[in-house]
């Protein structure tokens, strides 16, 4: 049942993303307009003030995409899988591993890359969906790594995380519905679209519904699936960066916006748990979950630093970064570090 409920949410995102506020694809597909840009693979560990170099987040290391690898000789002949595999093998091997892992999930009738590629007629069409393919295949792979009350997360070939009881109390876990952060002290700073001009285009998808109305919505899912999305939005940013040179001229993506939004939500969820849901807080700050959160946090900043200043990869990322940078919210991450003994 867990897999089927989560797939409902995933398919809802993939099928509805074209209509989400201001042309933003919540999985980071090409959209809007702006300036071009370039990036170099120049780091393997985060170094900004958002991580602690002596703790799990600051010591996280990963090989970055080879953004300069030649792919011009890769022809699209109508075989989506072959094209995706060859591009990712050269530019973002972790993304290739996610797609390969996602294909092992045979519960949905098609390989994940085929399912989320749309109906491409050219290499450009596939490139425009590559982020979504990697993101959703990442979900499919993590489904196969999860069982019962245990949630599994593929990070890289060398690292898979697995923690228990991260779902809501009425779904066999110890946490609360992620949509409850709609009622915290920070929600008004970026309300769900279309209720304001400076609005959160991700909230109507991931923080939807009323957790008390006995009707299932994606927002009823617990911390484990908030975390799952955060993991995949790091992969979304990594994928878009890997192929930024393939983007149509004068277009931008919401790749940076997506992961920054989920960092902000993670901070807010931790704060609400600490203040209002002590059992949930005890669960998600136990050694397994806090290590997982700090690992995700460090990996996110690795890619955010690498893409800093790359105009094509963000739309409202500067505004969301300001929200993430709130000292009180950053204090929630510092509390995890203190529990880690950093």
User: Rounded distance, CA 331 to CA 333, Å?
Assistant: 5
- Identify whether the C-beta of residue 283 lies closer than 8 Å to the C-beta of residue 173: yes
Banded model confidence at residue 14, pLDDT cuts 50, 70, 90 = very low
Q: How many helices (H) and strands (E) does the chain have?
A: 13, 2
Q: What is the pLDDT of residues 238-254, one digit of tens each?
A: 999 999 999 998 899 99
> Computed from CA positions of residues 329, 331, 336, 339, in that sequence, does the dihedral angle turn out positive or negative?
negative
**162, containing H or E segment:** strand 159-164
Residue whose C-alpha is closest to residue 238's, from 304, 284, 292: 304
State pLDDT tens for residues 125-151.
999 999 999 999 999 999 999 999 999
Residues spanned by the domain of 330 = 2-165+176-340
Which residue's structure tokens are 């993430």?
324
Q: Residues 151-171: pLDDT tens digits? A: 999 999 999 999 999 999 999
Give per-residue pLDDT as tens, 62-96. Answer: 999 999 999 999 999 999 999 999 999 999 999 99
Give the pair of three-digit tokens for residue 49.
Answer: 């003030």
Bigger pLDDT: 99 or 29?
A: 99
* Contact predicate 37/250, CB 8 Å: no
- Give residue 261's pLDDT band: very low, low, confident or very high (50, 70, 90): very high
Q: Work out how many domains the chain is built from and give that number.
A: 1
- Report if residue 326 sits inside a domain: yes
Read off the DSSP letter of residue 64.
Answer: P
Q: Examine residue 170 and state whether it is found in any structural domain, yes or no.
A: no
Is residue 171 assigned to a domain? no
Does residue 181 sit within a domain? yes
pLDDT tens readout for residues 194-205: 877 789 999 999
> Three-class SS of residue 253?
coil
Extract the tokens encoding 212: 């008390």
The pair of three-digit structure tokens given for residue 128, joined into one six-digit string: 């425009």
DSSP 164-225: E--SBGGGTSSB--GGGGGGSTTGGGSPBTTSSSS-BSSHHHHS-S-TTSSS--GGG--HHH
Predicted pLDDT of residue 47? 84
Encoding tokens for residue 263? Answer: 């960092």
């Amino acid at each position: 049942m867990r897999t089927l409920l989560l797939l409902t949410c995933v398919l809802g995102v993939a099928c509805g993303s074209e209509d989400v506020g201001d042309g933003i694809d919540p999985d980071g597909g090409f959209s809007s307009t702006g300036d071009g840009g370039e990036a170099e693979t120049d780091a393997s560990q985060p170094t900004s003030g958002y991580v602690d170099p002596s703790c799990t987040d600051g010591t996280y290391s990963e090989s970055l995409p080879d953004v300069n690898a030649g792919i011009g000789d890769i022809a699209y002949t109508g075989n989506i899988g072959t094209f995706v595999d060859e591009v990712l093998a050269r530019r973002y091997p972790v993304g290739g591993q996610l797609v390969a892992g996602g294909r092992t999930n045979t519960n949905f009738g098609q390989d994940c890359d085929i399912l989320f590629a749309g109906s491409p007629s050219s290499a450009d069409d596939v490139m425009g969906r590559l982020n979504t393919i990697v993101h959703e295949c990442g979900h499919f792979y993590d489904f196969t790594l999860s069982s019962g009350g245990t949630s599994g997360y593929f990070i890289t070939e060398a690292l898979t995380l697995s923690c228990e009881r991260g779902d809501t109390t009425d779904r066999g876990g110890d946490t609360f519905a992620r949509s409850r952060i709609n009622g915290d002290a920070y929600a008004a700073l970026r309300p769900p679209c279309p209720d304001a001009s400076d609005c959160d285009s991700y909230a109507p998808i991931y923080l939807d519904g009323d957790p008390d109305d006995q009707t299932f919505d994606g927002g009823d899912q617990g911390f484990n699936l908030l975390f799952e999305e955060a993991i995949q939005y790091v992969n979304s940013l990594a994928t878009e960066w890997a192929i930024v040179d393939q983007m149509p001229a004068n277009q931008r993506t919401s790749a940076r916006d997506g992961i920054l939004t989920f960092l902000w939500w993670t901070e807010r969820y931790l704060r609400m748990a600490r203040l209002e849901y002590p059992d949930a807080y005890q669960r998600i700050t136990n050694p397994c979950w806090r290590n997982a959160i700090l690992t995700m946090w460090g990996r996110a900043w690795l890619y955010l630093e690498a893409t800093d200043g790359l105009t094509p990869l963000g739309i409202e990322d500067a505004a969301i970064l300001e929200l993430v940078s709130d000292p009180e919210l950053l204090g929630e991450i510092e509390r995890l570090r203190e529990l880690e003994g950093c």
